[in-house]
Structure 1
Amino acid sequence: MTIKVVRGNPTPEELAAALAVVRARAAAAASAPSGARREPDAWADPARLAMSRLPAPGPKAWGRTYWPG
């Protein structure tokens, strides 16, 4: 594994901290079962966009789509 600094001038302590994080993530990914599926995060769920009910159709439905209540 090669890590290259492309911008900035990190101190040896900063490089060591970054490398420790990368190694910990790599070890966690390697120890995870290969067939395991991760549960998606709640913010990525498309159903959260439609939490409220849609307005009922009718002659004045266009007004209920914009104005609350």
Structure 2
Amino acid sequence: MIKVLRGNPTPEELAAALAVVQARAAAAASAGPGARDVSQWSDPARLVPRRVPHPGPAAWRTTYWPA
């Protein structure tokens, strides 16, 4: 059930919104149970603090190795 909370959409606008929802549901169902839609915002690696490499003889090491 879809409920419009604000505005007064036309039947065409409702049909377009429903088509998008159905397409997303079909894509998620065909991807299988193991597939996940992971966005970059939910990636835990985004929260890991990283050291910024400073110029020097060993600066290349800090670009590839964790802190």
TM-score band w.r.t. shorter chain? 0.5 to 0.7
What number of residue pairs does the alignment pair up? 52
Q: Which runs of 5+ in 1 are unaligned?
A: 55-69
Q: Identity, % of aligned pairs?
A: 60
Match of 2:52 in 1: 52
- Structure 1 residue 37, shift from structure 2 partner: 4.5
For 1:34, the equivalent position in structure 2 comes to 33
Q: TM-score, normalised by structure 1?
A: 0.56
Q: CA deviation at 1:25?
A: 0.4
TM-score (norm 2): 0.57
Consecutive unaligned residues of structure 2, counting only runs of 5 or more, are 55-67
Instruction: Show structure 1 runs of 4+ deviating over 4 A.
Output: 37-40
Q: Distance in 1 between matches of 2:16 and 2:42?
A: 29
